[in-house]
Amino acid sequence: MAISARELLRKNVEPYEVLGLEKGQFSEEQLIELMVQYPLLINRPIMVTERGTRLCRPSERVLDILPEAQQGAFSKEDGEPVVDEQGQRLKP
């Protein structure tokens, strides 16, 4: 997955603020160590398929790495439709 540890950080959680991660003073290795210590810092979901690994934010990004096309309707967590009943992706 071609994404840095900093790009995987969740910024709206307490450990991010308490540790002062917004200042950018930590190396990639240090950030990974902090993510292990404070899993809440890891932005997710991270999906792994035979077509690749991806941070699926927004959630519909998972459709890009599914081994087979989505069959049937698919909606986001908030109910917003992403794929129609025929398996066709809807445009935003």
- 30 belongs to a structural domain: yes
In a domain, 37, yes or no: yes
Number of domains in the chain: 2
Segment 3-32 mean pLDDT: 95
Question: What pLDDT is recorded for position 91?
Answer: 81
Residue-wise pLDDT tens digits, 57-72: 888 899 989 999 889 9
Is residue 69 in some structural domain? Answer: yes
**SS3 state at 77:** coil
Tell me, yes or no, whether 62 and 77 share the same domain. yes
**8 A C-beta contact, residue 22 and residue 31:** no
Quickly list H helices, the chain.
Answer: 5-8, 14-18, 28-37
Predicted pLDDT at 77: 87
Residue 92 maps to a domain:
no
Total-model pTM: 0.74
22-60 residue pLDDT tens? 998 999 999 999 999 999 999 999 999 999 999 998 888
10 falls within a domain: yes
**What is the domain extent for residue 77?**
46-83
Task: Indicate if 37 and 51 belong to the same structural domain.
Answer: no
Quickly state the pLDDT bin for 2 (edges 50, 70, 90). confident
